[in-house]
């Protein structure tokens, strides 16, 4: 499984037992709406619907239940669609959907800018061919 995730998001992948919530490239979000399959994953691990999102070279890693047994969703930048509401941010990457609560507008804006920057870098590499 780790090799498949590496292929999607780059070779800087760390194994789940090495994740550090203090890592500056990881940002925590409260999940306010997600797919049923993600709810099943999160419910097995915690009553709190939250995730940590890590920006990687080729995509996002969405860590669910980082405290006990992490489950990881890999979203390659080239497949992500993002929609922003007044107090939420939605990320789509077929077949997954995450609706994230914006609690700190400054942090959310910084996250969005970094995501769009990384996505543009990846897209430019595809545009060359």
Backbone torsions φ then ψ of 60, nearest 5 degrees:
-100, 145
Mention every residue, 6+ apart, whose C-beta is less than 8 A from residue 68. Answer: 45, 46
pLDDT in tens, 70-108: 677 888 888 899 999 889 999 998 888 889 998 888 888
User: Domains in the chain, start-ordered, CATH in brackets?
Assistant: 2-12+26-127 (2.30.29.30)
pTM over 0.75: no
Identify the three-state secondary structure at position 13.
Answer: coil
Q: What pLDDT, on a 0 to 100 scale, did the predictor assign at position 94?
A: 80
* Number of residues that this document lists for the chain: 129
Q: What pLDDT, on a 0 to 100 scale, did the predictor assign at position 47?
A: 55
Helix (H) or strand (E) holding 32: strand 26-34
Alpha helices in 12-83 (DSSP H): 36-45
């Amino acid at each position: 499984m780790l090799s498949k995730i590496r292929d999607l998001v780059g070779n800087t992948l760390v194994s789940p037992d090495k994740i550090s919530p203090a890592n500056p490239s990881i940002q925590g979000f409260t999940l306010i709406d997600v797919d049923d399959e993600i709810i099943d994953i999160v419910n097995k691990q915690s009553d709190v619907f939250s995730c940590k999102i890590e920006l990687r070279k080729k995509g996002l890693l969405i860590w669910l239940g980082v405290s006990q047994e992490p489950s990881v969703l890999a979203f390659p930048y080239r497949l992500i669609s993002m929609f922003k509401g007044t107090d939420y941010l939605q990320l789509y990457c077929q077949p997954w959907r995450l609706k994230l609560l914006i609690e700190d507008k400054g942090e959310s804006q910084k996250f969005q800018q970094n995501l769009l920057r990384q996505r543009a870098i990846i897209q430019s590499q595809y545009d060359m061919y």
